[in-house]
Structure 1
């Protein structure tokens, strides 16, 4: 498969910074979608706000994704604001000592009702690993050793506090430190929490033990072995002696969590040794989109049946790179256009926006991943043409 598709090739444009033509790594690339997200969704002090909720919450996932996008955009000022807000408000002022709380906003219960602060202090491992990843890559790309050190410490803490050795599987990422070992022989897991790009990059940290490499393997099994009909579930259980089983809470449904599994798959590097297996595992999703014209909002992953509604524009943006990776360029183009058309008709919510920044940003050439998980932003090579 060629890394670039003909329909994605656009006229080359030069990067500019403050109106001056540049060819160095200090350049930035125009990314209107990021600019719009930064204006509409990130506060002046660096908080990603989900305004679809009455509590105007911020989740650690949102902070982690925004850090990644700021790095892709070479937007150091926004990156610094996001990191400072995250550390001060979600990590008790010290990311070297605390994993970030997963949700912050206007509290409505208890003695702190009516005030702003942490609503649930239990961390979310996907956010923690994305923050660590973005810090490590910011340290490398911006030559900032402080970010490298902080990312390394955060990743090590996540390894200690958010993984467990599951019998018959090995060391596996748990969704958080507490609440996911639901009984002595049962663990609750989330396939969308383990993008293989991120896991590979963390496994490549200098001086780390073999646990990270084991996590790459168990993450691949979590992704591949929980989709019997080619559709990923939001949540799954792992039972000692029985392996992966349908989640009792979500009844094997695949929806707003699982849509990210196809997104991460579509962005895998062509030379990643697991890419072919992962792409082929979810081909039924590609077949469904080609036949129906859009992705389903909900799937029963055990029966392979679908809910009545189509996914929103974010869903289309998420599956577009996956379709492109399979060589279905017309379908990928159609889903990208659907995502943009729906966003133009009605302002997209926070989650749809981040799915679009990932999916459309990747298709438009703003970033890609190498086989070892390292990030290649466009500002380090050639900027894509703006729309």
Structure 2
């Protein structure tokens, strides 16, 4: 299976001459080996998505939400149903329409399995709502849309707060456990394409305002073009400031900000400003510099070598800016690192690669209003298990 995953990564718009199955009307089919490889490694038969790189072998609402999205992208209805059922039963007590899912589940200190942290995480809640809304639309399944609307409405009620001097903004967690005068925020929790779709679904909701504040936040916290993992809104200063706990560091959370920006529709009104504000990785890679694992966003100084998943996350970002040389360099770097790997990639890196490569391959895109645009007709048949 690992060889098939590597082949799938090689099939990109930069390598369309590589051999592949041919669709009778649309040309080479789109590879899904990375999705099937991810599913075989990380998704149990009951729909639980496992991160093996933690002592608790935990599952998170984030992992479940991404699994729902990827299953929809690849038109894998059985996987979608299993992931949704497990999420509902184990993270929401069988009441996903009435409560937001717990963010972390796994092996407890006494050896039993169950919820490790009952608090919800707003990024996962948004992705779950989005996957359900789009599954309802694309699969013509009204029950999915209804459940998606319930999750979205509860996220708006419980996780959006009016920040003094700013306005309505999505918090990383319920506002019942948050307070000022410093309001902690996570910029990677706010993909603008999802907020666009939510505004279409709920025009009276907070989502247009949250999107406006998201652009303002990114512009205010990237003095050298690098996004922080966390930041905060200061009531006293009426400004975005460094997070008191994480400080001005950009790394494993922030890498998703470039990913979301790169996948924005070309006509999104914030796209040009967002890509301009996030110019740090672009400038590094144009000068053939290595991508760091950690960046001091106040100074632009980096340290460490970024894992291969970071390169996967940057593929849409580089493609969106027409940086073909840098894109080719990152694709070559990904292939080299995967071929040299002696063990399976960690869960999170595989997720980042799957997001970036599937978008680059054309398996999905986001419309101007954030709607999912999958290419189901061109997906290659799933390979037989080895």
2:14 is aligned with 1:7 = yes
8 Å CA contact retained: 1:203, 1:216: no
Residue 304 of structure 1 corresponds to: 300
Shift of 1:339: 2.2
Unaligned runs of 5+ in 1: 16-20
Residue 261 of structure 1 corresponds to: 257
Q: 1:83 to 1:239 in 2, by over 3 A?
A: same
8 Å CA contact retained: 1:99, 1:123: yes
2:199 is aligned with 1:198 = no
Scaled by the length of structure 2, what TM-score is found? 0.89
Unaligned runs of 5+ in 2: 1-11
Shift of 1:75: 0.1
Shift of 1:211: 1.7
8 Å CA contact retained: 1:91, 1:101: yes
Listed as ranges, the matches of 1:162-311 within 5 Å are: 162-177=159-174, 181-182=178-179, 184-206=180-202, 208-242=203-237, 243-307=239-303, 309-311=304-306
Q: Find 2:311's aligned residue among 294, 311, 316.
A: 316
8 Å CA contact retained: 1:187, 1:239: yes
User: 1:72-121 deviations in whole A, cap 9, x for unaligned?
Assistant: 0000000000000000000011110110000000011xxxx210000001
Q: In structure 1, what is the Cα distance between the partners aligned to 2:21 and 2:240?
A: 48
Figure out how many residues of one structure are paired with residues of the other and give that number: 366
Q: 1:121 to 1:6 in 2, by over 3 A?
A: closer
Q: 1:170 to 1:10 in 2, by over 3 A?
A: farther
Q: 1:217 to 1:46 in 2, by over 3 A?
A: same
8 Å CA contact retained: 2:158, 2:176: no
Scaled by the length of structure 1, what TM-score is found? 0.89
Q: In structure 2, what is the Cα distance between the partners aligned to 1:150 and 1:337?
A: 42
User: 1:236-283 deviations in whole A, cap 9, x for unaligned?
Assistant: 011014111111111210000000000111111111111111111111
Q: In structure 2, what is the Cα distance between the partners aligned to 1:291 and 1:385?
A: 40
Shift of 1:190: 0.4
Q: Find 1:331's aligned residue among 320, 326, 332.
A: 326
Which stretch of the first structure deviates more once superposed, 65-74 or 331-340? 331-340
